[in-house]
A and B are shown apart, each in its own frame.
Chain A
Amino acid sequence: MTAVDFLAFTRGPLFDVALIIFIAGLAIRFVEILVLGRRRDFSEPRRGGFGSGLRTMFSRTLPETGTMKRAPTTVVAGWVFHIGFLVTLLLFVPHIEMFQAVLGFGWPGLPTPIIDFAGILAMVAMVVVLINRLRNPVMRFLSGFGDYLPWLLTFLPLITGWLVFHRLLLPYPAMLGLHILSVELLMILFPFTKLMHTFTAFLARYYTGAAFGRKGVQS
């Protein structure tokens, strides 16, 4: 298989397969969570839970100050990674073109030097996150294959993407093929791993925010 065949394969049939597994997997996991349902709450609410739930979906993005002081590495590296990764993923024009093809709509992108910088930030943060996971007693205690695999699945698209952009290591078509392959690997394993938190975290935040909110506590 030549590099170009490989690229054509990753842009074509393999992407289709990855997309099917990704989308269907996401839908399955979401629906099976929602279908479980929650019991009706008979207690008299202090205020509506819905608004609080919505607020918590976003407010949990910022850490409480004490947490920031006690675990600055986890908080800061986590933040930098998420921002860098999302900027790279969502605001790089070639990526937006891909989203446009799948979703039917697009949005404006950012200049490439910013994307380049964001990608590097994300990778550096990921290395810090990994070292932190290996050194922090709690994280090392909690972590297993299920935690290291998603790290790798996330890091590979970043590093290969950066190599494609800078035309390093391999000819462009081969590197682009590798990049797309790494993304497909991510997509295929996404619904089966902790990567799911990307979406379910907002559901979790809503539930908790609404439960606290009913009691009159902004969480």
Chain B
Amino acid sequence: MQIDETTPNAARSAASGDDRTLGALLAARGVSRRAFLKYSSYLASLLALPASMAPAMAASLAKAQRQSVIWLSFQECTGCTESLTRSLSPTLDDLIFDFISLDYHHTLQAASGHAAEEARMQAMEAHKGKYIVAVDGSVPVKDGGIYSTIAGMSNLDILEETTKDAFAVVAIGSCAAFGGLPLADPNPTGAVPVTELVTDKPVINIPGCPPIPEAMAAVLAHVLTFGILPELDSLGRPKSFYGESVHDRCYRRPFYDRGEFAESFDDEGAKKGWCLYKLGCKGPATSNACATVKWNGGTSFPIEAGHPCLGCSEPGFWDMGGFYRALSVPTGDVARIAAVAAGAGVVAGAAAGALHRATKSAARGKHHTVTVEELEEK
């Protein structure tokens, strides 16, 4: 991996003019053709492409030049980078770093200070119009964006400068895609998602806290293979990964349908692996591939570990009324509100009733006695 090397990618790449194909690079790294084909099949399946596409994909990928990627980290926690790099199956998911030339990345690059910023400028220059900007973290815009700066520049300015000549922007993680934690109420920094700032370039959202590493790899493979962006949903997410809900693909779904629920984290239901809806599971409202692709090399996913889905790949998941409150439950203090409303209603009803009674006794007081003399007149 590049991090093992002393020279930063971009600097090396730009300096050495490394234009070897991906195939050549992989061969040099000792990755067999067979292993590469297998990985291509895996990515193709993740992207919901037919199996017949895998060899073509492998061939395309092998011929492709490494994609220049500039990774901008703003208001983030590095969890997304951790997710990508600390995969349990490095030989496979690490390949992502072979697909790309990661020309700028705070956490991973060796260079620092002015040298690092220099690398970014060089990459932008060398791959003008072709490079991809990956962003993790949200962008603070309040008070001129002063709440997060790098090398004296606000995130806002860096983003604008870097995306100007980019081919596409990939917002990695829920902070970049939807604002995430920084945007959560009360959003002191005025954080906004990337899509709100970049409007003249295609933006792919790969939300999640963190996102599934395979999603990132597959999307890049798609871009490298076909030269176009994958199909996106209304929230800018690749449909192949975010097309279905966690709930619909959850192995605990039959318990939901049968009406078998864990009522607490340590009851019989929880031990039997029943549905976690009542414990606040956001699976029904969450579009993600956790239940199928799973985490840690396909080991499991949160629900399998006995914890409700937090809905981390959905916009505003921090402010959905509490992680442990069922989706159908109102977020306010409704029991108290109902009691107070009932009390107030009874008082108002009694007041109205008093008015009605007054009307009625007035009517009684004004009673007109019907007499036969009167009947004969009319």
- Complex-state Cα separation, A21 to B261, whole angstroms: 32
The reply on B353 being an interface residue by CB < 8 A is yes
A-B contact pairs, 28 of them (CB 8 A): A2-B316, A4-B315, A4-B319, A8-B316, A8-B319, A8-B331, A12-B330, A16-B332, A23-B345, A24-B341, A24-B344, A24-B348, A25-B345, A27-B346, A28-B345, A28-B349, A30-B349, A31-B352, A32-B353, A97-B277, A98-B329, A98-B330, A101-B335, A103-B338, A104-B335, A112-B257, A112-B258, A171-B233
3 shortest interchain CB distances as A-B pairs: A27-B345, A35-B353, A31-B349
Which residues does chain B contribute within 8 Å of A71, judged by CB atoms?
none
Contact residues, B252-288 vs A (CB, 8 A): 256-259, 261, 277-278, 284-285, 287
Q: Quick check: B278 and A93 within 8 Å, CB to CB?
A: yes
Task: Choose one: A15, A26, A102; the contact of B345 (CB below 8 Å).
Answer: A26
Number of interface residues of A (CB under 8 A): 50
**B316 near A4 (CB under 8 angstroms)?**
yes
How far is it, in angstroms, between the C-alpha of A5 and the C-alpha of B341 when the chains are bound?
A: 26
- Chain B residues lying within 8 Å of A83, measured Cβ to Cβ, are none
**A19 to B295 Cα, complex, angstroms:** 41
B107 to chain A, nearest CB (A): 29
Contact: B326 with A94, CB < 8 Å? yes
Give bound CA distance, A113 to B329, whole Å.
Answer: 21
Q: How far is the CA of A95 from the CA of B326 in the complex (A)?
A: 10
Q: Is A133 an interface residue (CB 8 A)?
A: no
Residues B256 and A112 in contact, CB atoms below 8 Å apart: yes
Secondary structure type dominating chain A contacts = helix
In whole Å, how far is A178's beta carbon from the nearest beta carbon of chain B? 13
Determine whether B234 belongs to the interface, using a CB cutoff of 8 Å to chain A: yes
B326 contacts A23, CB within 8 Å? no
Q: In the complex the two chains form, what is the Cα distance from A172 to B321 in whole Å?
A: 16
**Docked complex Cα distance between A113 and B328 (Å):** 18
Q: Is the beta-carbon distance between A167 and B248 smaller than 8 angstroms? A: yes
Interface contacts beyond A36-B357, A94-B328, A104-B335: sample of 8 additional A-B pairs, CB < 8 Å, sorted by A: A4-B316, A19-B337, A27-B344, A32-B352, A35-B356, A35-B357, A93-B259, A98-B330
Most chain A beta-carbon neighbours within 10 Å: one of B245, B316, B338, B348 = B338
Given contacts A3-B315, A5-B316, contact A112 B337 (CB under 8 A): no
Query: Which A residues contact B (CB, under 8 angstroms)?
Result: 2-5, 7-8, 11-13, 15-16, 19-32, 34-37, 93-95, 97-98, 100-104, 108-113, 167, 171-173, 176
Complex partner residue of A8 from B321, B341, B353, B354, CB under 8 angstroms: B321
Report B-chain residues with C-beta under 8 Å of the C-beta of A103: 335, 338
**Distance between B233 CB and nearest chain A CB, rounded to angstroms:** 8
With A112-B256, A171-B234, A176-B285 as contacts: A19 and B349 at CB distance below 8 Å: no
CB pair B353 A34 closer than 8 Å: yes
Residues of chain B within 8 A (CB-CB) of A171 are 233-235, 287
* Minimal beta-carbon separation of A63 from chain B (angstroms): 32
Which residue of chain B has its CB nearest to the CB of A164?
A: B284
Name the one of A12, A21, A95, A109 contacting B259, with C-beta atoms under 8 angstroms.
A109
Contact B341 A23 (CB under 8 A): yes
| B344 contacts across to A, CB distance below 8 A | 24, 27
Q: Are A167 and B245 in contact (CB under 8 A)?
A: yes
CB contact under 8 A between A15 and B330, given known A4-B320, A28-B349: yes
- CB pair A12–B331 under 8 Å, yes or no, is yes
Question: Do B278 and A97 have beta carbons less than 8 Å apart?
Answer: yes
A15 CA to B320 CA, complexed, in Å: 14
Contact between B360 and A36, CB atoms less than 8 A apart: yes
Contact present for A102 and B341 (CB under 8 Å)? no
Judging by beta carbons under 8 Å apart, are A111 and B259 in contact?
yes
- Of B258, B332, B350, the most chain A CB neighbours within 10 A belong to B332
Which residues from chain A contact B76 at a C-beta distance below 8 Å? none
Query: Are B349 and A94 in touch, CB under 8 angstroms?
Result: no
Instruction: Give chain B interface residues in 286-332, CB to chain A under 8 Å.
Output: 287, 314-317, 319-321, 326-332
Given A27-B341, A35-B349, also A19-B330 (CB < 8 A): yes
Contact A11 B342 (CB under 8 A): no
Contact across chains for A19 and B285 when beta carbons are under 8 A apart: no
Report the separation of the CA atoms of residues A24 and B317 in the bound assembly, to the nearest whole angstrom: 32
Closest-CB distance, A3 to chain B (whole angstroms): 7
